[in-house]
Amino acid sequence: MSFFSHKPIETVAEARARAKKLLPKDVFTALEAGSDGGSTIRANLRAFEQVGMIPRVGVEIPLHPDLKTTFMGQNIDLPVVIAPAAAQAMHPDGEVGVARASRRAGTALGLANFASMPVEDVASANPNTFAHVYLSGDRDTIADRVERFRRAGVKGLIFTLDLSGGRVAHQPRDWGSPVYPDGLGLGTMMKYAPTAVVHPRWTLRYLRRGSVPGLYAPNMSKKDGVVPTLVGALNEWVGTHIPTWDDMAWLSDLWGGPFMIKGLVTPDDARRALDVGATAIGVSNHGGNNLDTTPSPLRFLPAVVKAVGDQAEVTFDSGVRRGTDVVKALALGAQSVMIGRPWFYGLATDGERGVYEVLETFRITIERTLIGLGKSSIHDLTPEDLVIPDGFLIE
């Protein structure tokens, strides 16, 4: 057994505990922290606990219930998709490892605009890659990046509308906001040397690969080909105007293919997204990283599904930590569910293998939950399988 080996991950909570022990404090805080006091993060988790499930017994069910669905028009074998999440300093496998793990699990992934690895490498590792794009820089710059995504073979674009520019994204948090170093100069190395010494497993992983944690944003380069530092890319984002529906219409026309607008919770906003060309709606509050004290998007999900009808796919994220959460979101009308922090925990624990094991924990629990509900397929799920408290759902 190698120095980095461990027993397989069995739950997301277990992966989180291992990640907390292994990662430097600043890295783990950046992963865990939400906006302001973190009320929305707690609300997201609590919402799933408030919804119960009604078991059915004596029903003939196949050994492995049907979990197949689609994500933005692509067939996937698991209704759990990797959400785009950026600034990872978890493991040198990075997003390419995440791509390999998600492909092995039979699912898709969203690649963040601020990812640490080039889109070309990620899309090669998993053909079901969807590129996340920010409104950063002028339209010519954004159009160049979109064309690069197209050449790389990504299947669609994802735009997170609720995280509207760096002014919102980088707000203070009650537990402190980690500072991203701008490149890897001598001063940075001296500053973070004690962290490297105190967390030898995390450090040795990068040293063995001859790499450093993701301090650059290769997918934010411009025509000159220069790869900006993460801080430089963030500064460009901060200096760009807050996106509007007109920007969404322009981006949809520019891409001309599958296009998700994510970060919506109200039926009115979902209908606006359809009007500007969205083919998928992401019901989400960005995992608690935007406007604190926002209710869980689980409360809005049925109303959005009703408003959208069959005009677009609906996916869900925010607070998903186990297979039962996935089943509840699917029963309320989502076609698929995206996860953010859980795959980060897996990546931190053991790179590509850890991400795959986290995805498998979801698969196993979803199958077990379907059997408990007397369902042969995720497509048989309905709100009638749930116990929903009075006043829980928001129209």
Angle at 253 (CA atoms; ends 249, 256), nearest 5 degrees: 135
Q: Flag whether pLDDT at 384 surpasses 90.
A: yes
User: Would you state the pLDDT for residue 196?
Assistant: 57
pLDDT in tens, 309-330: 999 999 999 999 999 999 999 9
Residue 247, annotated ligand binder? no
The ranges assigned to domains in the chain are: 12-387
φ, ψ of residue 394 to 5 degrees: the values are: -115, 125
CATH number of 12-387: 3.20.20.70
Return d(Cα 288, Cα 28) in angstroms, integer.
16
CB-count exposure of residue 227 (10 Å: 0-12, 13-18, 19+): middle
Separation in Å, CA 120 to CA 13, 150, 197:
32, 10, 34
Q: Mark whether 132 is an active-site residue.
A: no
**Rounded distance, CA 134 to CA 170, Å?**
15
CA angle 126, 130, 132 (to 5 degrees): 135
Each residue's pLDDT tens digit, 83-93 = 999 867 889 99
* Residue 252: band (very low, low, confident or very high) from pLDDT cuts 50, 70, 90: very high
Instruction: Consult the annotation and say whether 156 binds a ligand.
Output: no
Is 317 a known ligand-binding residue? Answer: yes
The reply, when asked if residue 101 is annotated as ligand binding, is no
- At 8, the amino acid letter reads P
**Does 241 carry a binding-site annotation?**
no
Find out whether 7 is annotated in a ligand binding site.
no
Residue 183 pLDDT more than 70?
no
84 belongs to an annotated ligand binding site:
yes
Q: What is the pLDDT of residue 2?
A: 42
Whether 211 contacts 92, CB under 8 Å:
yes
Q: Is 64 known to sit in a ligand binding site?
A: no
Average pLDDT in the 244-251 region?
97
pLDDT, residue 3, reads 45
pTM: 0.92
pLDDT recorded at residue 223: 82
Catalytic residue among 6, 64, 286, 379: 286
Q: Is the pLDDT of residue 189 over 50?
A: no
- Whole-angstrom Cα distance, residue 136 to residue 234? 9
Task: Report whether 321 belongs to an annotated binding site.
Answer: yes
Q: Which residues contact 267 (CB under 8 A, 6 or more apart)?
A: 300, 303, 304, 306, 307, 395
- What's the pLDDT tens digit per position in 99-156? 999 999 999 999 999 999 999 999 999 999 999 999 999 999 999 999 999 999 999 9
